[in-house]
Chain A
Amino acid sequence: MKMAARDEDAARSSRPRRVAPAVKSGRGVRFQKTITVNRPVQEVFSFWRHLENLPRFMKFVRAVTSNGGNITHWVVTTNGTKLEWDAETIEARPNEVLSWQSLPAADVDNAGSIVFRPAPGKRGTVVNVNLKYAPTGGKAAAKLAKLFGKDAEAVMEEDLFRFKSLIETGEIPTTEGQPHGGV
């Protein structure tokens, strides 16, 4: 598996680039990771197809609401800063691929694609995630840039682990709220 890389690194890489071209080259942060989840491809695709599910496992995504068509509205909060944008679903080929990109005037210019394929040996579904983010300017966006710059890889990887646990078990492992000795 390959983690997020800065654009210049990505440009040197011979890996195929799957992200929709919403984010100008030379800007932003890319994230790429592949995991296998022990659920049928239909179920996994359907889960992602309903982007409203994303806040259930994405730490900083508060809400994704659909207009019933191809447009979704995203709300992300981090350290009390709220960022919003609209995104358009570009491709939704059942059980194969899902991609979207943000519309102009987004706080964060971003694009993503998820490629699904059945895992060999009936081991569920191989999920390949490609995301790209680039803040468009302003204080709020700069904050997010910081978050999705240095920590982008970590946040997104953790989100994917949470996704896998959620779809396989119905819950996300946590220790938040457990007892602890006074320090």
Chain B
Amino acid sequence: MKALCWFGKHDVRVEKVPDPKILNPHDAIVKITTSAICGSDLHLYDGLIPRMEKGDILGHEFMGEVVETGPEVKNLKAGDRVVVPFTMSCGQCFYCQRGLWSLCDNTNPSARESEKMNGYVCAGLYGYSHLYGGYAGGQAQYARVPFANVGPIKIPKGIPDEKAIFLSDIFPTGYMAAENCDIKGGDTIAVWGCGPVGQFAIRSAFLLGAERVIAIDDVPERLEMAREGGAETITADGDAVFEELKEMTGGMGPDGCIDAVGMEAHGATMDARMDRVKQAMKLSMDRPTVLRQALRSCRKGGTVSVPGVYGGFVDKIPFGLVVAKALTIRSGQTHVQRYLKPLLEKIEKNEIDPSFVITHRLALDNAPLGYKAFLKKADKCIKIVLKPHALQQTE
């Protein structure tokens, strides 16, 4: 089959690789009909994530058709159309049984490494370094889906791929970010970062009853998309954001603040982590600044929700504010399985059409160009979907 493989910083290639096989009793093989490039893939592309190996297949947002199932997979059969969550969950451990799916104890073959890094083992993820298990990802024509008895959700015929695929990650991720703000009627929610997750956080905040959403970014087309979703917007400009937010909220501050920028600066050692923090700070948005701004801007007793992934140590976080203002901080990799059914229902009822976020559609062969464009935010790129079985397009 063809698959997008990582070879190093800014070096991804579509290669011919062997087809995946069933390796464990709860595995399934899925023929991928639609895949996507996630903002977090750019951190792999930038070489910021440790424990990548040359040849690793990327991609953790994908859907397709089941072509084969292992002996213990009773809920799926060949021909079923499914979306696959980016987090792998066993369904049997303490965490899965409490709905904390992304904290699953049993899906990460690099359990010991994960424990060394975090103190405890975190779940396996598709195509996201060997710290998360080194699983082959879904920017490919086929994928092996471990624990297929727990993860994938069947998609009814009437729902096209482009409406369903984002159930794999960014829709639940944005939704959980908003849900973590514990929104009550009349609330104002501020969202930093209008990338795909931010866009879903904005729309989810409204779905959950927010009266106002204020979105902050410095990319015009992303702010425009936020406004289309009903948000008021602030063009990010350093410390002015705090003053502007305060002014817009009658001097009170937003009830919930969502940092949808994140950083994902993982590292195995203290200095590696610190180096990556420094690297991250050179990016277009000064990332720790977002978290600082969110903590400062949030109203007293409010919630700061962090869907963006921070990897290691973050410098100069005003923790005194958390105490002084009695803030709640909530975060976590998305417990995707928790949101699949309720969010699919919202799609079926036309409460939301997640395809709004798509700006580009590419054949898998052109994925390397897609990474380049997405990184540079070229051609007003916000979200790229990939068609693994389409013929190569002309560039």
Interface residues of A (CB under 8 A from B): 36, 38, 123-124, 154, 157-158, 161, 164-165, 168-183
Among B16-24, B171-179, B204-212, B316-324, the stretch in contact with A: B16-24
User: What's the Cα separation between A161 and B108 when bound, in Å?
Assistant: 10
Q: A161-B112, A169-B26, A176-B23 are in contact. Are A181 and B13 (CB under 8 A)?
A: yes
Question: Does A179 lie within 8 Å of B106, measured CB to CB?
Answer: no
Question: Does A168 lie within 8 Å of B93, measured CB to CB?
Answer: yes
Kindly provide the distance from the CB of A168 to the nearest chain B CB, expressed in whole angstroms: 5
Residues of the A chain whose Cβ atoms lie less than 8 Å from the Cβ of B18: 179
Q: Does B135 contact A (CB under 8 A)?
A: yes
Kindly provide the distance from the CB of B211 to the nearest chain A CB, expressed in whole angstroms: 40
Name the one of A38, A164, A170, A175 contacting B72, with C-beta atoms under 8 angstroms: A170
Q: A171-B25, A174-B109 are in contact. Are A179 and B1 (CB under 8 A)?
A: yes
Q: A168-B106, A173-B24, A173-B133 are in contact. Are A179 and B3 (CB under 8 A)?
A: yes
Report B131-165 residues with CB < 8 Å from chain A CB.
133-136, 140, 144, 146-147
Q: Does B118 contact A (CB under 8 A)?
A: no
Q: A154-B112, A161-B111 are in contact. Are A178 and B135 (CB under 8 A)?
A: yes
Instruction: Give the dominant DSSP class at B's interface.
Output: loop
Kindly provide the distance from the CB of A101 to the nearest chain B CB, expressed in whole angstroms: 27
Q: Does B97 contact A (CB under 8 A)?
A: yes
Q: Does B57 contact A (CB under 8 A)?
A: yes
Report B40-56 residues with CB < 8 Å from chain A CB.
54-56
Q: Does B213 contact A (CB under 8 A)?
A: no
Q: A168-B90, A174-B24 are in contact. Are A179 and B54 (CB under 8 A)?
A: no
Question: Does B23 lie within 8 Å of A165, measured CB to CB?
Answer: no
User: What's the Cα separation between A183 and B140 when bound, in Å?
Assistant: 17
Task: Tell me the count of chain B residues lying within 8 A, CB to CB, of chain A.
Answer: 46
Question: Does A181 lie within 8 Å of B109, measured CB to CB?
Answer: no
User: What's the Cα separation between A182 and B16 when bound, in Å?
Assistant: 8
Residues of the B chain whose Cβ atoms lie less than 8 Å from the Cβ of A169: 26, 90-93, 106, 147
Nearest B-chain residue to A156, judged by Cβ: B112
Q: Does B364 contact A (CB under 8 A)?
A: no
Residues of the A chain whose Cβ atoms lie less than 8 Å from the Cβ of B26: 169-171
Residues of the B chain whose Cβ atoms lie less than 8 Å from the Cβ of A174: 23-24, 109
Kindly provide the distance from the CB of A119 to the nearest chain B CB, expressed in whole angstroms: 9
Nearest A-chain residue to B114, judged by Cβ: A161
Residues of the A chain whose Cβ atoms lie less than 8 Å from the Cβ of B105: 38, 164-165, 168
Question: Does B133 lie within 8 Å of A165, measured CB to CB?
Answer: no
Q: Does B107 contact A (CB under 8 A)?
A: yes
User: What's the Cα separation between A180 and B146 when bound, in Å?
Assistant: 16
Chain B 68-101 near chain A by CB (<8 Å), digits 1 or 0: 0000100000000000000010111110010000
Q: Does B5 contact A (CB under 8 A)?
A: yes
Kindly provide the distance from the CB of B298 to the nearest chain A CB, expressed in whole angstroms: 34
Given contacts A161-B112, A168-B92, 17 further A-B contacts (CB under 8 A): A154-B112, A158-B111, A161-B111, A164-B105, A164-B106, A165-B111, A169-B26, A169-B93, A169-B147, A171-B25, A172-B109, A173-B88, A175-B133, A176-B23, A180-B5, A180-B17, A180-B57
Residues of the B chain whose Cβ atoms lie less than 8 Å from the Cβ of A175: 23, 109, 133-136
Of B26, B90, B106, which is in contact with the most chain A CB atoms at under 10 Å from its CB?
Answer: B106
Q: Does B7 contact A (CB under 8 A)?
A: yes
User: What's the Cα separation between A10 and B55 when bound, in Å?
Assistant: 43
Question: Does B56 lie within 8 Å of A181, measured CB to CB?
Answer: yes
